Amino acid sequence: MTAAPPLSSRFMDRTHRDRPTTTGPPSSSLLDWWRSDRFTVALALIALAGLVFRIAYVVWNRNGLVGTDGYFFHRFALQLVDGVGFRNPTTGAAIATNPPAWSVVLAGPSMIGFRSELWQQLIACVVGTATIVMTGLAGRAAFGRRVGIAAAALAAAYPFVWLYERELVAEPLAMLGTATTIWLAYKFKAAPSVWLAVALGAAVGVLAMTRSELLGISVLLVVPVVLSARRVSLRNRFRWLVAAAVVCVAVVAPWAIYNQTRFARPVPLSTSLGPAMVTGNCPPTYHGKLLGYYVPGCALFVSDVSTDASIADNRYRRAAWDFVSANKKRVPVVAAARVGRTFGLFRPTQQMHLEAERGTEVLVLRLGFYAYWILLPLAIAGFVLARRRGVAVYPLLAFPVLIVLAVLPTIGLVRYRAPAEIPLLILAAVAIEALVTLVRYGRAGPAAAQAPKAIFTRG
């Protein structure tokens, strides 16, 4: 029987494994070069399969309900094209419930006359396909080509990536921004430069313009990534951080300045915190069946609410804090329930039905929950493997940590977890790649015992 190849040659350093062997296409033909780049070919095929599936899913469900936030994103996109801007479709009042990035993306087909929800869902499918590609690239940048391919395949198939595209909520763009930010973070760690730091600042700006709480990634990810570049002088590291911050502010500034002309108080990103807090901090969410969830009707009990969204947001926050202060003993239980709901660990069967209010069938949500419960232990195993091999994982952990911080004072909702799905898929891919390697080399003889130790090397 042929002996297994030496581990030193089989498991090369990630940097060397991913480095092209030539600087351009071989002299024979471009086709030969394309065939030789197996990662690109595999990633393209996975992305194509993911796009076809996504289109088939939204077309098949084209008559399904688009509820809650998805409906408003659809309306805002049409209003942008019509010159109305960001106003409540019912009352006409100025509104900034969500940052504008997703509405701007969805407005694309409306500009050329395609104004239906279906056309916007198809745009969301394209964004989801880009997420597949960027998840694969992020996995490769962090752990190598095989992990990248596995992560892309998971992103193509995982329900809690593609079901949001039909719902027209902002999560597809948030997940694309998450994958891109992770990719940039690991590229920066491999080869620090001011341009990658600036790109990280821009990526965080786009994330914040998609979901306002994601601005926190600037502190949890960008700052430690840039400051950990020990090959760069401390002065330059601080300069690069300032450059990243300036670019991030430049991305957000036009929206904040626009809001200053519409509201009585500054609204840098959105006015959603107050409503989320007041609907998540009231008697029905502190006791009983809806523990840790939210009740929209709770906002009706707040008196003297202004028609100005910025003033109303502040009033809602004050009312929520008053309720929290009066129910301090219940806060730890409620906070734990919120985190449990968000991460599929508390009353999951009930949560499936609650999440279905956006129009997704319970069957699809159940499939998503089952897939998540399979991937979660794999991701934990992938985290352990990565740490044992000395690979930095804090760029991946920053997103779930931020989600926990965001839901603690507000609402437990699986949709809020969406940015954390990308790190989940990448870490699960690490464990899957390790299992495949172990099985493959477990049949090769004595070298099997050493195979798991060489899955990653720090790059």
pLDDT bucket at 102, cuts 50 / 70 / 90: very high
Reply yes or no on whether the pLDDT at 161 is more than 60.
Answer: yes
Instruction: List, for residues 223-272, the tens digit of each pLDDT value.
Output: 999 999 999 999 999 999 999 999 999 999 999 999 999 999 999 999 99
Reply yes or no on whether the pLDDT at 363 is more than 90.
Answer: yes
State mean pLDDT over 44-52: 97
Taking a C-beta distance cutoff of 8 angstroms, is the pair 207, 180 a contact? no
Reply yes or no on whether the pLDDT at 456 is more than 90.
Answer: no
pTM of the model: 0.89
Most confident segment among 7-16, 17-26, 42-51, 300-309: 42-51
State mean pLDDT over 365-381: 97
Listed range (47-56, 67-76, 353-362, 438-447) with the worst mean pLDDT: 438-447
State mean pLDDT over 331-337: 97
Q: What is the pLDDT of residue 304?
A: 72
Residue 87 β-bridge partners: 94
Instruction: List, for residues 172-216, the tens digit of each pLDDT value.
Output: 999 999 999 999 999 999 999 999 999 999 999 999 999 999 999
More confident residue, 123 or 446: 123
Q: What is the pLDDT of residue 19?
A: 43
Reply yes or no on whether the pLDDT at 30 is more than 80.
Answer: no
Cα 453 to Cα 202: distance, rounded to the nearest angstrom? 37
Q: What percent of the chain has pLDDT over 70?
A: 88
State mean pLDDT over 273-286: 96
Across the chain, what does the average pLDDT equal?
89
- Cβ neighbours of 459 (radius 10 Å): 18
Reply yes or no on whether the pLDDT at 333 is more than 90.
Answer: yes
More confident residue, 358 or 54: 54
Q: Which residues contact 262 (CB under 8 A, 6 or more apart)?
A: 94, 96
pLDDT bucket at 35, cuts 50 / 70 / 90: low
Instruction: List, for residues 425-455, the tens digit of each pLDDT value.
Output: 999 999 999 999 888 876 544 443 344 444 4
Instruction: List, for residues 387-400, the tens digit of each pLDDT value.
Output: 998 899 999 999 99
Cα 163 to Cα 32: distance, rounded to the nearest angstrom? 37
Q: What is the pLDDT of residue 448?
A: 39
pLDDT bucket at 14, cuts 50 / 70 / 90: very low
Taking CB atoms within 8 Å and a gap of at least 24, the contacts of 301-307 are: 302/278, 306/264, 307/91, 307/93
